[in-house]
Homo-oligomer: A and B are copies of this chain.
Amino acid sequence: MEALGRHILVELYNCDNEKINDVAYIESSMLAATRASGATIISHNFHKFSPHGVSGVVVIAESHVSIHSWPEYNYAAIDIFTCGDTIDPMIIRDTLKKDFQAETISSREIKRGMIKPKAGKKLLHKPQQQILEK
Interface residues, chain A, with chain B CB atoms under 8 Å away: 4-5, 7, 9, 11, 23, 42-43, 45, 47-53, 55-57, 59, 61, 63-64, 66, 68, 70, 72-73, 75, 77, 79, 81, 83, 108, 110, 112-115, 124, 126, 129-134
Contacts and interface: CB of A to CB of B under 8 A. Distances in A.
A45 B45 contact: yes
Q: Can you tell how many copies of this chain the complex includes? A: 2
Chief secondary structure at chain A's binding surface: strand
B59 A45 contact: yes
B75 A113 contact: yes
Given A77-B112, A81-B68, A126 B53 contact: yes
B9 A7 contact: yes
A95 B130 CA distance: 29
